[in-house]
Amino acid sequence: MAQGKKRCPASEQTKRDAALRYDLEMESRKVGWADPTLVYDEEKDLFRFRDRRFAFSRDHADWALLRKRERMKGL
């Protein structure tokens, strides 16, 4: 780590990771590359799996479920 740079707390990093996943899925949908296993819940502004289980929002993600369903390989 560079001198003078501080690592952000894990909770901040987790929130950033969720926001990145959310933004990536939103942009993918604009160009027709949407993940077919996900449904966007417009009312709650989050993504769910087709079985209605929560996947992620801009602030939170169910990383364990995403890994289990092989949406986040290597994480």
Domain ranges (residues) in the chain? 35-75
CA geometry: angle 13, 39, 64, nearest 5 deg: 40
Over the stretch 11-20, which tens digit does the pLDDT of each residue have?
Answer: 899 999 999 9
- Percent of the chain clearing pLDDT 90 (strictly above): 76
The pLDDT value recorded for residue 60 is: 96
**Predicted confidence (pLDDT) per residue in 35-53, tens digit:** 999 999 999 999 999 999 9
Contact 58, 14 (CB under 8 A): no
pLDDT band at 10 (very low <50, low <70, confident <90, very high): confident
